[in-house]
């Protein structure tokens, strides 16, 4: 039985990069496509109405994600390396508490559970780590994602880049459907945010847990409104 978590390299190579692409793929069956993380409510409120306003919203959301949840994702990566069950549970609780609306909380729990189950189905990573993850209920998505990163030997910075790119890509995909935008307009947004994603990953890796913040009152209000929005394509 494999019970060890290896120390990930400073830079992922070979099979680690393939695992990273797998983990960040929109085809990963954890339900990401069904969530807009407040973007649909922003469209309903008239905040997003074209490509420029969609880009501004997504860029602002990227900043919120990078200075909050992604900071704790990096910490969970370190906690998984040490197999520190107390620290893992405490950080998971904080990640759940960061979700300020019912829909946001449901989102991270559903996707976290789905990813944890998938890791078991694929025997992804050490048995001990997967057993710890399996026993953690509810589990946030960043906790499960960090376990997958460590289990595949993915370097921290590479994993954060993939996490933030996947988040941005999912937001763009939601905007394509709900604004709606054309494919090229969506790709322009994604292409234009490359440096923002790189900067955000570096900043998140260097930010102390006690300095993490998800302060975004408009996002929280819009998410709460989305629960009773008349017409919806997305679950958040």
CATH number at residue 197: 1.10.4190.10
Check residue 205 and give its pLDDT. 97
Check residue 190 and give its pLDDT. 98
pLDDT tens sequence for the chain (236 residues): 444 555 556 666 789 999 999 999 999 999 999 999 999 999 989 999 999 999 999 999 999 999 999 999 999 999 999 999 999 999 999 999 999 899 999 999 999 999 999 999 999 999 999 999 999 999 999 999 999 999 999 999 999 999 999 999 999 999 999 999 999 999 999 999 999 999 999 999 999 999 999 888 889 888 988 887 777 788 86
**DSSP for residue 231:** S
Check residue 218 and give its pLDDT. 87
Task: Give dist(CA 188, CA 112) in Å, integer.
Answer: 30
What the block records as the tokens of 224 is 């709460």
Decide if 138 is inside a domain.
yes
For the beta carbon of residue 120, count every other beta carbon within 10 angstroms: 15
Check residue 100 and give its pLDDT. 86
Check residue 9 and give its pLDDT. 60
CA atoms lying within 13 Å on the CB side of residue 150: 28
User: Taking a C-beta distance cutoff of 8 angstroms, is the pair 107, 37 a contact?
Assistant: yes
The position carrying tokens 């960043």 is: 142
CB-based burial label for 231 (10 Å; 0-12, 13-18, 19+): exposed
Check residue 233 and give its pLDDT. 86
Decide if 64 is inside a domain.
yes
Backbone region of residue 123 per phi and psi (left: phi > 0; alpha: psi in -120 to 50; beta: other values):
left
Decide if 4 is inside a domain.
no
Backbone region of residue 194 per phi and psi (left: phi > 0; alpha: psi in -120 to 50; beta: other values):
alpha
CB-based burial label for 215 (10 Å; 0-12, 13-18, 19+): exposed
Q: Domain range for residue 59?
A: 36-226
Task: Give dist(CA 51, CA 185) in Å, integer.
Answer: 6
Task: Give dist(CA 172, CA 123) in Å, integer.
Answer: 31
Check residue 179 and give its pLDDT. 96
Decide if 23 is inside a domain.
no
Decide if 21 is inside a domain.
no
Check residue 111 and give its pLDDT. 98
Decide if 234 is inside a domain.
no
Total domains, the chain: 1
pTM for the model: 0.93
What the block records as the tokens of 25 is 């793929």
What the block records as the tokens of 229 is 């929005």
Decide if 5 is inside a domain.
no
Query: What one-character-per-residue DSSP string does 100-124 give?
Result: -SHHHHHHHHHHHHHHHHHHHHHT-
Decide if 104 is inside a domain.
yes
The position carrying tokens 């976290």 is: 112
């Amino acid at each position: 039985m494999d019970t060890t978590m290896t120390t990930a390299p400073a830079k992922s190579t070979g099979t680690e990069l393939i695992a990273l692409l797998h983990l960040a793929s929109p085809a990963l069956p954890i339900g990401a496509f069904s969530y807009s993380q407040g973007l649909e409510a922003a469209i309903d409120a008239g905040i997003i109405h074209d490509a420029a306003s969609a880009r501004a919203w997504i860029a602002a959301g990227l900043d919120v994600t990078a200075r909050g949840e992604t900071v704790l994702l990096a910490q969970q990566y370190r906690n998984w390396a040490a197999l520190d069950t107390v620290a893992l549970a405490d950080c998971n609780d904080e990640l759940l508490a960061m979700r300020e609306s019912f829909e946001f909380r449901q989102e991270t729990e559903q996707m976290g559970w789905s990813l944890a189950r998938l890791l078991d189905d694929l025997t992804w990573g050490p048995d001990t780590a997967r057993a710890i993850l399996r026993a953690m209920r509810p589990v946030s998505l960043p906790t499960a994602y960090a376990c997958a990163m460590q289990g595949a030997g993915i370097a921290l910075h590479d994993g954060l880049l993939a996490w933030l790119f996947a988040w941005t890509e999912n937001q763009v995909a939601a905007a394509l459907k709900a604004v709606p935008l054309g494919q090229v307009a969506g790709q322009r947004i994604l292409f234009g945010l490359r440096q923002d994603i790189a900067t955000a990953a570096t900043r998140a890796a260097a930010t102390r847990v006690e300095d993490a913040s998800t302060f975004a009152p408009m996002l929280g209000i819009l998410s709460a409104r989305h629960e009773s929005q008349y017409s919806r394509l997305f679950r958040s």
